Amino acid sequence: ALSLDVAALRRDFPILHQTVGDKPLCYLDNAATSQKPRAVIEAVERYYRQDNANIHRGVHTLAERATAAYESARERIAGFLNAAHNEEVVFLRGTTEAINLVAQSWARPRLQPGDEVLITELEHHSNIVPWQLVCEQTGATLRAVEVNEAGELDLDSFEAAIARRPRLFAVGHVSNALGTINPLSHLIQRAHAHGVPVLVDGAQATPHLAVDVQALGCDFYAFSGHKMYGPTGIGALWARRELLEEMPPWQGGGEMIKMVSIDRSIWNDVPHKFEAGTPNIAGAIGLAAAADYIESVGIEAIAAREDELLSHATEALNDLGGIRIIGTSEKKAAVVSFVVEGVHPHDLGTILDSEGVAIRAGHHCAMPLMEKLGLVATARASMAFYNTKEEIDTLATALQKAKNILG
C-alpha cells in the first residue's frame, strides 16, 4: 500500500517535463525548494480568477469569499499539524519570519544579561541569526549543542547545555545541509524536564514526515510552504495559544488591531495580532492545497519512497569512489551531501547543470556546521518522492563525467 505510482504522480508536476539545454531536467534540489503540483497552481489561479478581494473588512461577496478561503486555509494547516486550535496558526512569509517573530516578540522581553539561548551547530542561518540579534539586544548569550562526525547532535553536549537552563532551545527537526533527522521527542522531553521551552524549525520536516505538534509537545513550530509543494512567500508559525496570547505584536498596521486612536491601540485577537497588513491570501490558499495534496499522496508513502531514493543515491555515490558523503546518520531525510576529492562543489554543480542535473553547491546556509566539519562547501542532492532511480543514475553518470573532467 506504500508504493506510489510515481509516473502518474510526476504528471501532477508540469515543470518536471522539460529539457535543460538538450537534456531532460533532473531536479534534485528539493531541499532548496520543491516543485508545485497542478492542484496548488490551480488553487492559486482559481483564487485570483474568481475570488480575489481583501479580507476581514469587506461587506461584499468577493471579500466574504476571500476571507472564508483564507480562514479555511488556516483551519487546514491547523489540521495538518494536529494543532488543538485554529488560532494557533499564524500565517507568515515562512520559517525565517516565524523564527524572527518568536525571537523579537517572545524572547526579547524575557531575556536578560546572563540568560542563555540554546541552538545547535546543525542549524540553518535562519535559526541562528535571529537569536544572535536578540542576544545582542538583550545581553543574553547564545550557545550551541555540538554535532558529531556523523552530523548528529551530540547528546552529552545537549544534556550539559540544557542543564544550564537556557531560556529557550531552538532546534531544527531535519537538517537541510545533511538530512539528519533529530530525535525531537527526546530533545523536547529533556528540555521540558528542565523547564526549557522548545522552538522547532520544521522547514525540512513538513515535506517528509508527519508532524503532530501535540504529540511532539513542542512550544513553537515554524515551517515554509515552498518546501512542501506550496507557494513561496507563505509559511506559518504554530505556537500554543497561551504563548501567543502573552506575546506583544511585532509589527503594527492594519488587521492587527481592534481599535486605534492617536494615543493608543487595542490589539486584535490571536492570531490576527501577528498578521499586520494585507496577508499573502493566495499563498495561504495554495499552502492549504499543498497540505491536501500531501495528504492525498500519503505522508507515510512519501517518506517510504524518499527512503528508497536515499538508499539508492547513497549506494550509487559510494560505488563511484572518490566521493565522501557528509552526514551519515541512520535517520536521514532524502538528502545526500557530499564532496568529491579534488573538485570544488561549485564546479561540480556547473558541470552537472550542463547534464540537466540540478543540485546545490555551497554552505547551505549552515556556515557554522561547515566550519565544524572542516569544509567550506558541499554538493547536495535532495530528493522528493517524484524523483526516480533513473534520475539518480543520471546524477551518478554526470558525476563520473565531472570527475573525469575536473579530477
Q: Which residues bind ligand PMP (CB under 6 A)?
A: 94-96, 124, 126-127, 172, 176, 201, 203-204, 224, 365
Grid cell listed for 386: 517524484
Helix (H, G, I), strand (E, B) or coil at 196: coil
Tell me how far, at minimum, the Cβ of 34 lies from ligand PMP, in Å: 11
Q: Which DSSP category does 8 fall into? A: H
Q: Which DSSP category does 48 fall into? A: I
Q: Is 365 tagged catalytic?
A: yes
In a 13 Å sphere around the CA of 26, the CA atoms on its Cβ side amount to: 23
Closer Cβ to ligand PMP, 35 or 176, answer by number: 176
| Number of other residues whose CB lies within 10 A of the CB of residue 341 | 10
Reading phi first (left if > 0) and then psi (alpha if -120 to 50, else beta), residue 371 is in alpha
- Give the torsion through C-alpha atoms of 71, 73, 75, 77, to 10 deg: -140
Closer Cβ to ligand PMP, 203 or 313, answer by number: 203
Tell me how far, at minimum, the Cβ of 162 lies from ligand PMP, in Å: 21
Closer Cβ to ligand PMP, 127 or 394, answer by number: 127
Closer Cβ to ligand PMP, 83 or 171, answer by number: 171
Closer Cβ to ligand PMP, 76 or 124, answer by number: 124
Beta strands (DSSP E) in 134-230 are 141-145, 168-172, 198-201, 220-224
Tell me how far, at minimum, the Cβ of 226 lies from ligand PMP, in Å: 6
Q: Rounded distance, CA 119 to CA 99, Å?
A: 12
Tell me how far, at minimum, the Cβ of 237 lies from ligand PMP, in Å: 11
Say if residue 258 is exposed, middle or buried (CB neighbours under 10 Å; 0-12, 13-18, 19+). Answer: exposed
| Chain Cα centroid distance, residue 106 | 21
Closer Cβ to ligand PMP, 244 or 333, answer by number: 333
Q: Rounded distance, CA 32 to CA 227, Å?
A: 7
Q: Of the residues 26, 135, 218, 365, which is catalytic?
A: 365
Q: Rounded distance, CA 64 to CA 59, Å?
A: 7
Tell me how far, at minimum, the Cβ of 365 lies from ligand PMP, in Å: 6
- Please say whether the beta carbons of 124 and 365 come within 8 A: yes
Preceding peptide of 271 cis, ω within 30°: yes
Strands 257-260 and 265-267: antiparallel
Closer Cβ to ligand PMP, 191 or 200, answer by number: 200
Helix (H, G, I), strand (E, B) or coil at 19: strand
Say if residue 58 is exposed, middle or buried (CB neighbours under 10 Å; 0-12, 13-18, 19+). Answer: middle
* Alpha carbon distance, N-terminus to C-terminus of the chain: 44
Number of H helices, E strands in the chain: 14, 17
Grid cell listed for 66: 476571500
Tell me how far, at minimum, the Cβ of 224 lies from ligand PMP, in Å: 3
Tell me how far, at minimum, the Cβ of 12 lies from ligand PMP, in Å: 22
Tell me how far, at minimum, the Cβ of 96 lies from ligand PMP, in Å: 3
Residues assigned a catalytic role: 365
